[in-house]
Amino acid sequence: MNRHWCAGALLAILGCGGVERLPLPSSYEAHDPAVRGQIASLERRVRSLEDAGAADPELAAAVGELGRLYHGVNLLDSHAFTALEAAEDCYREAQRLDPSDHRWPYLRGFAEETRGDHETAADSYRAALAVEPELVPAIQRLAQSEVERGRTDEATALWNSALELRPGFPPALYGLGLLALDRGDTESATGYLERAIAAEPGAGRGHYSLAMVWRRLGDEDRAAQHLAQASHTDFPFDDPLVRELAYLPAGSAALVQQGLIAVQAGEFAAAATVFGRAIEADPTNREARKHLALAHVDAGQFEQAEAAYEELLALDPDQTSAHFEFAQLLANRGQTAEAIRHLTWATELAPDYKQAHYQLALLLERAGRPAEALERYDHVLALDPDYAEAGTRRATALASSGRPVEALQILHTRVANAPADAAAVQALGVVLRQQNRLQEARTALERSLRSAEFGPTDEARLRTELGGILAIEGRLQDAARELRTAQQLDRTEPQTSFVLGMVLLDLRRPEEAARAFATALAVRPELTPARLRLAAILAQTDRCDEALALVEGGRRFAGNNPAFAQASRQLRTACAER
């Protein structure tokens, strides 16, 4: 093969660079200067190698690298269609120059598949497999392309070969399961799909397909179990050649998109690092700052999240969503006054922001300001008269404002009209309890639990309230039973475990109480009462170091809460006397 490009070859490369170097001859014009610089640099590299008469494989690698950059741009911005076209042109030329490199036909096939051209994509994948027969991602993608073309026998053979190379490969098992389901072989479909889900329990598409199998077999209970876990989440598989593409483009905008990829993968700390780099590249990038704050929250890095929100709002004080999100963080960390301030700001910026008014009402109620909470609930209901939860919470605010008769009338009516409205039933129990009408509260809760159908989470909340009432009545064993049932129904509700811990303390079962408080903290580390009580139990059992570490650790969740300083002093004094 001629080592120099002829005029025809030069024309072929126009999709990834042209005769002129700048402005960029490509049909794709990058918005970010950093990406434009990358493209220009790679084009100069291609031209330099061409002028130097480089060997075809070296020249192919440079052209292919330019194609990978264009492809990465498209992955980060699916609307950059011309970038994908440029990538394909580069891969085509790289493949022509070096047919022995499987990367270029494989990535070309992936680009063609993205465009929906499954026939051409299949040819490209086969070309890649001719060079690298054990390239499992190419086998998987080729099988999918064959299914799209109606060639199920070919797809079956491909997935079976993938399983030979990588036993238990979930996407292949899923594909075979779908084919078996399509031809009515429910027994084989069940086997394949159950194996696939066992390997990837979070793949919601697999749960949906298995639910359809069980429905065909007449087992509605199993079908319902899998439908509850169904989603659009597909079976993932590691594909390094594709995965690397999105991390090639430089610049602040590209880094934001790369950070979002890490967020989708659940790698929140890594995402925060990437968003931080995006801010370094462009300190005015508001999107990067917002995602940085959210990533810190998801990673449990609350102090860093607060700092990120403060910097964002200093840059853009009128960003309503940032005030709302910051308020949620502050509220969860016990900084109610600051949370109220930011929510108030959000409602002033967006008077029709229903959820901001609602959350503000909840916080005002929690802060012992029921009259102000009532005003906010009224505003929410003016915006949305059918917002049942706001109506229920308004009733509790009425009771706190010294108007229990009106509150109970609203709640009794609501429960009568909607017996399965768990929030209304719980609120009715709470208001009756606050009025010291314990027997009525208990009766209302027990009647609802017997007569209405509730989901696990709602039932857990009702049983937690019932357990609290039983504890007040001195029926501690019954209270513990209800609370344990609630805990089994929903382990994500910290209040249940906290109340259970208090009851177990009254029953003089400190070790069990400690486990309950620990369970509450595992879900909500910022729950100060649970942290302090667990620390006290640890200190009483000669585990002073653990108790002190627990108290000191609470400072990062609750800032300067004086309760921690007082608890620390008391623990040190008590431990020193032992």
Please choose, from the candidates 443, 482, 446, 438, the residue with its C-alpha nearest in 3D space to the C-alpha of residue 464: 482
The sign of the dihedral angle between the CA atoms of 278, 284, 287, 292 is positive
Q: Find the range with the poorest average confidence among 16-25, 38-47, 258-267, 558-567.
A: 16-25
The two tokens of residue 235 are: 């079976």
Q: Residue 386: name the closest of 360, 340, 347, 418 by CA.
A: 418
- CA gap 344, 323 in Å, rounded: 9
Residue range 328-353, pLDDT digits in tens: 999 988 899 999 999 999 999 999 99
Please report which residue ranges of 77-169 form alpha helices under DSSP H.
Answer: 81-97, 103-114, 118-131, 136-148, 152-165
Q: How far apart, in whole angstroms, are the C-alpha atoms of residue 345 and residue 335?
A: 16
* Rounded CA separation 187/534 (Å): 51
**Cα distance between residue 207 and residue 54, in whole Å:** 53
What three-state secondary structure class fits 17? strand
| Contact assessment for residue 360 and residue 376, using Cβ atoms and an 8 Å cutoff | yes
Q: What is the DSSP string of 67-102?
A: HHHHHHHHHH-TT-HHHHHHHHHHHHHHHHH-TT-T
Q: Is the pLDDT of residue 29 over 50?
A: yes
Model confidence at 25: pLDDT above 80: no
Residue bearing the bigger pLDDT, 9 or 565: 565
| Mean pLDDT along residues 225-235 | 89
Rounded Cα distance, 90 and 245, in Å: 14
Share of the chain above pLDDT 70, in %: 93
Contact 192, 176 (CB under 8 A): yes
Distance CA 325, CA 297 (A): 10
Distance CA(528)–CA(565), nearest Å, equals 12
Contact of 166 with 138, CB cutoff 8 Å: no
Which pLDDT belongs to residue 311? 96
Residue 232 burial (10 A CB sphere; 0-12, 13-18, 19+): exposed
> What is the 3 state secondary structure string of 307-358?
HHHHHHHHHCCCCHHHHHHHHHHHHHCCCHHHHHHHHHHHHHHCCCCHHHHH
| Mean pLDDT (whole number) for 218-234 | 89
Task: Name the band, by pLDDT with cuts 50, 70 and 90, for residue 22.
Answer: very low
Average pLDDT over residues 374-403: 94
* Confidence at residue 269, expressed as pLDDT on a 0 to 100 scale: 94
* DSSP state letter for 117: -
Please tell me which residue, 3 or 179, carries the higher pLDDT value: 179
**Which pLDDT band, with edges at 50, 70 and 90, does 557 fall under?**
low
Q: Which helix (H) or strand (E) holds 519?
A: helix 510-523
Q: Which residues contact 406 (CB under 8 A, 6 or more apart)?
A: 395, 398
pLDDT (average), residues 421-449: 95
Least confident range of 275-279, 318-322, 389-393, 560-564: 560-564
Percent of the chain at pLDDT > 90 equals 74
pLDDT at 532: 85
Average pLDDT, rounded, for the chain? 89
- In terms of Cβ atoms closer than 10 Å to its own Cβ (0-12, 13-18, 19+), residue 241 is middle
Please state, in angstroms and rounded to a whole number, the distance separating the CA atoms of residues 69 and 85: 12
| DSSP category for residue 208 | H
Q: Measured between alpha carbons, how far is 260 from 272 in angstroms, rounded to an integer? A: 10
The residue with tokens 């096939």 is 109
Q: How many CB atoms within 10 Å of residue 209?
A: 21
**What is the separation of C-alpha 228 from the centre of its chain, rounded to a whole number of angstroms?**
18
pLDDT tens digits, 81-135: 899 999 999 999 999 999 999 999 999 999 999 999 999 999 999 999 999 999 9
- Predicted confidence at residue 491, as pLDDT, reads 86
